[in-house]
Amino acid sequence: MISLLRITAENYEDHLERIVEIETLSFSSPWSRAGFIREVKNPLSTIWAASIDGSLLGFICYWVLDFEIHLLDLAVHPKERRKGVGRFLLGHMIKEAVSKALESIWLEVRVSNEGAVKLYQELGFEQAGIRFKYYDDTGEDALVMRLGFSGSLPVLNCSNVGGRF
């Protein structure tokens, strides 16, 4: 069964190598070790990892601000994709936002990342804008997406994430 592990200043050294491996396999311009260490030490930042039997499958990193969350990074090992790990991690972040009565979650995603865009839309995120030439490595645009919580809340079934979980 999948479990969540909070990555903190106390335990990040045990998991940093696997997190950087997943990041490097997932992105053309991955974060560095130093970038992850900065986030672990940043009081605004929250990092969770999904694992089975102690093996990390993916992670999520986001800032919790006064009235919102800003999703910074979400990556799942290529061998574990399309099995619900990303949905599981996003569901946990959304539950945190709801429990803290936050107003919204914001993120940027590459226009070409159709799988991620579809997942975000399935969870209720809507396009809020475009950041032109946002990604330095390719000059690609980013979609700005938002999940708002004023009015009706999204209906999530995070316990049913599919795959082997």
Q: Kindly state the DSSP code that residue 78 receives in the 8-state scheme.
A: G
Catalytic annotation present for 23: no
Collapsing DSSP states into helix, strand and coil, what is residue 145?
A: strand
Q: Is 120 a catalytic residue?
A: yes
Q: How far apart are CA 151 and CA 37, in angstroms?
A: 37
Helices (H), the chain: 12-26, 33-41, 85-99, 114-122
Per annotation, catalytic residue among 108, 134, 135, 140 = 108
Catalytic positions, written as ranges: 108, 120
